[in-house]
Amino acid sequence: MHKEKHDKGREKPSSFELGNPVILLALISIAGLILSWKLLGMAGFRTVLFWLLLYVAPAYLILTKLGLETYEAFVIAAFGTAGTIPTMVFFLNFLVPSLTYSAIIIFLLEAAAVAYVYIKSTDRKPIGKTNSEGAEQ
């Protein structure tokens, strides 16, 4: 298969090889979903699935757009959202007297943050990177 040179001199795997980080993370996520279904039943499967889709995926998209590597972005998104998102929902629940509405509002804010980051970086370069002169682009 065709391999391209990555920024740091390493070869970038093509999109369908197992060495591709995105495919490997997808397989790990599927294995985690199957494990949660076997151990916790359908409730555990739905919990992990919606946690991955509603919280980890938007945080992962933001972090990869900010210039982090694939594995770094996934680990930070997974562990970061495990603590911060429930905390934000809990404290928003003091203002909005419904836990369901609080969770929906936090998800919409996170989706808006993803949209903002992707719209802000229309040139497809990572946000926050500096050029050779040290000035932020």
- Cβ contacts of residue 99 below 8 Å, gap of 6+? 89, 93
Residue 126 above 60 pLDDT?
A: no
Percent of the chain with pLDDT over 90: 26
Q: Where is pLDDT greater, at 112 or 128? A: 112
User: Using an 8 Å Cβ cutoff, are 67 and 129 in contact?
Assistant: yes
Round the average pLDDT of the chain to a whole number and report it. 80
Q: Parallel, antiparallel, or unpaired for β 11-12 and 4-5? A: antiparallel
User: pLDDT value at position 51?
Assistant: 86
Report the helix count and the strand count for the chain, using DSSP H and E. 4, 2
> Residue 1: what pLDDT?
46
Q: Look at residue 12 in the predicted model and tell me its pLDDT.
A: 56
pLDDT tens per residue, range 38-83: 999 999 899 889 888 888 888 898 898 888 888 889 889 989 888 8
